[in-house]
Amino acid sequence: MSIRPIYLDSHATTPVDERVLAAMLPYFIEKFGNPSSISHIYGWEAEAAVKQTREILAAAINATPEEIVFTSGATEANNLAIKGVAEAYFQKGQHIITVATEHKAVLDPCAYLKTLGFEITILPVQKDGLIDLTELEKAFRPETILVSVMAANNEIGVLQPLEAIGEMCRDRNIIFHTDAAQAIGKIPLDVQTLKIDLMSLTAHKVYGPKGIGALYVRRRNPRVQLAPQQHGGGHERGMRSGTLYTPQIVGFGKAVEIALAEQATENPRLRSLRQRLWEQLSPLEGIHLNGHPTQRLAGNLNISIEGVDGAALGLGLQPVMAVSSGSACTSANTAPSHVLTALGNSEQLAYASVRFGIGRFTTQEEIDTVAKHAIATIQSLRKQTTLV
Ligand SMILES: *Cc1c(COP(=O)(O)O)cnc(C)c1O
């Protein structure tokens, strides 16, 4: 096998942990039953496995198992949350508040609702990527039905002040949704103390399989109504029809279980690797850290680099490291990152940016190799520009 670049793109996806795969395997061939089959053991054992994951997820966020609705991932969970609330509550009001740095899977459903006549307020962020709570305060209207603010940002790792936002929404009887795709298993999440009503989750950012996620839907104080976005056999209490994908669900549960068990040791390890990388890169001139220095995911480092061309930088890094660079973020999309421009970066700096996503299998040696190569690439690109 040829030498593959060092993987530092953990916000895009993560490999399945071997322990997760081992837990999933029996559910493909031996225990292949449909969890909805109530008249034989094949169904019962699949149902028991699904129930176990529901319990793990519920415990992870301090919810109850009945409040977990399985989906194909966080994109679907966000769509179900946002469009489902809009459709269920439009007679109460037609105003939704979200934030400029949200994932497209939140911004695009909001944009879609706008075409149907809903009004959407998109809050700006401060230079550090955090929302300004006084801006949120000003945005509330009597007809606001939903606030959607992510837990952890997928580009800059910034952690929004969920507890304060939850408090403000609860005081006004407004539903609070959070996209926690990057947060589950990485930071503590308690839907009671944070006053969260809807929470989107996914497995593949936390060493689980792709194609499985969930939406937490609060059942009491208040009971959230959702209009289903996929109709069929009435699975998931009518909120999301479709035969449950047992192997993926088992993997999701195992992945979250492992992440929670290891969170206390893994976060300091990731933080020290990030610090090691930053200490090597930051002495270079013209390197800017994007996002709040401490209120962010332990494994995230996002920098903008002055005096280099974004596309050339991406190409220069590629042979050694798999990172996400500003010039190649949303594949077919050549616009600069909407997150980095929302922080006030110029287009040039947004392009000349690198997101390092340090993960469970990243080693110190890899960090040192990456730092060395990144520095050499930046220096050689800068030399070329001054020669021209
Ligand atoms: C990855 C991600 C998503 C999309 O999740 P999928 O499970 O891949 O659909 C949504 N929001 C955030 C913040 C993400 O990081």
Domain containing residue 267: CATH number = 3.90.1150.10
Question: Does residue 242 sit in the same domain as residue 382?
Answer: no
Question: Which pLDDT value is given to residue 330?
Answer: 47
Question: Does residue 211 sit in the same domain as residue 81?
Answer: yes
Please check whether residue 198 is in contact with residue 175, taking contact to mean a CB–CB distance below 8 angstroms: yes
Question: Does residue 247 sit in the same domain as residue 270?
Answer: no
Q: Ligand 1 centroid vs 313 CA: distance in angstroms?
A: 26
Question: Which pLDDT value is given to residue 251?
Answer: 98
pLDDT digits (tens, 9 = 90+) for 25-66: 999 999 999 999 999 999 999 999 999 999 999 999 999 999
Strands 175-179 and 198-202 turn out to be: parallel
CB of 75 closer than 6 angstroms to any ligand 1 atom: yes
Question: Does residue 313 sit in the same domain as residue 218?
Answer: no
Closest ligand 1 atom to residue 12 Cα is 1
Q: What is the side-by-side strand order in the sheet with 324-325?
A: 287-289, 300-305, 353-357, 324-325
Whole-Å CA distances, 33 to 29, 65, 126, 263, 357 = 9, 21, 50, 33, 37
Closest ligand 1 atom to residue 150 Cα is 13
Q: Which domain-ending residue is among 236, 256, 276? A: 256
Q: By residue range, what is the domain housing residue 110?
A: 18-256
Show the CA angle centred on residue 240, arms to residues 238 and 244, nearest 5°: 110
Whether residue 223 lies inside any domain: the answer is: yes
> From first to last of its 388 residues, what are the pLDDT tens digits of the chain?
568 999 999 999 999 999 999 999 999 999 999 999 999 999 999 999 999 999 999 999 999 999 999 999 999 999 999 999 999 999 999 999 999 999 999 999 999 999 999 999 999 999 999 999 999 999 999 999 999 999 999 999 999 999 999 999 999 999 999 999 999 999 999 999 999 999 999 999 999 999 999 999 999 999 999 999 999 999 999 999 999 999 999 999 999 999 999 999 999 999 999 999 999 999 999 999 999 999 999 999 999 999 998 899 999 999 999 999 876 544 455 688 999 999 988 888 888 999 999 999 999 999 999 999 999 999 999 998 776 5
CB of 73 closer than 6 angstroms to any ligand 1 atom: yes
Task: Please choose, from the candidates 1, 5, 4, the residue with its C-alpha nearest in 3D space to the C-alpha of residue 377.
Answer: 5
> What is the residue with the minimal CA distance to atom 12 of ligand 1?
181
> What is the residue with the minimal CA distance to atom 3 of ligand 1?
74
Closest ligand 1 atom to residue 73 Cα is 7
Ligand 1 pocket mutation pick from 80, 103, 149, 212 by most atoms within 8 angstroms of CB: 103
| Residue 162: strand, helix, or coil | helix
Tokens 């034989």 sit at which residue? Answer: 40
d(CA 183, CA 65) in angstroms, rounded, equals 19
Closest ligand 1 atom to residue 75 Cα is 9
Question: Does residue 148 sit in the same domain as residue 66?
Answer: yes
d(CA 373, CA 90) in angstroms, rounded, equals 53
> What is the residue with the minimal CA distance to atom 7 of ligand 1?
73
How many domains does the chain fold into?
Answer: 2
CB of 129 closer than 6 angstroms to any ligand 1 atom: no
CB of 218 closer than 6 angstroms to any ligand 1 atom: no
Cα four-point dihedral sign 11, 70, 114, 126: negative
Whether residue 238 lies inside any domain: the answer is: yes
Whether residue 235 lies inside any domain: the answer is: yes
Task: Please choose, from the candidates 179, 181, 149, the residue with its C-alpha nearest in 3D space to the C-alpha of residue 165.
Answer: 149
pLDDT digits (tens, 9 = 90+) for 299-325: 999 999 999 988 999 999 999 999 998
Q: Please tell me which residue in 329, 339, 349, 358 is annotated as part of the active site.
A: 329
Question: Which pLDDT value is given to residue 328?
Answer: 57
CB of 72 closer than 6 angstroms to any ligand 1 atom: no
Question: Does residue 181 sit in the same domain as residue 63?
Answer: yes
Whether residue 28 lies inside any domain: the answer is: yes
Secondary element (H or E) of residue 45: helix 41-61
Q: Ligand 1 centroid vs 250 CA: distance in angstroms?
A: 19
Whether residue 186 lies inside any domain: the answer is: yes
Question: Does residue 273 sit in the same domain as residue 198?
Answer: no
- Please indicate whether residue 329 is annotated as part of the active site: yes
Q: Which domain-ending residue is among 256, 274, 309? A: 256
Q: Looking at residue 155, which CATH number applies to its domain? A: 3.40.640.10
Question: Does residue 226 sit in the same domain as residue 310?
Answer: no
CB of 202 closer than 6 angstroms to any ligand 1 atom: yes
Question: Does residue 207 sit in the same domain as residue 235?
Answer: yes
> What is the residue with the minimal CA distance to atom 5 of ligand 1?
74
> What is the residue with the minimal CA distance to atom 15 of ligand 1?
154
Cα four-point dihedral sign 295, 297, 300, 302: negative
Beta-carbon contacts of 47 under 8 Å, excluding residues fewer than 6 positions away, are: 33, 35, 36, 38
Question: Does residue 23 sit in the same domain as residue 140?
Answer: yes
Q: Which domain-ending residue is among 256, 277, 301? A: 256
Whether residue 54 lies inside any domain: the answer is: yes
Question: Does residue 338 sit in the same domain as residue 203?
Answer: no
Whether residue 1 lies inside any domain: the answer is: no
Question: Does residue 210 sit in the same domain as residue 177?
Answer: yes
Whether residue 157 lies inside any domain: the answer is: yes
Tokens 């934030």 sit at which residue? Answer: 99
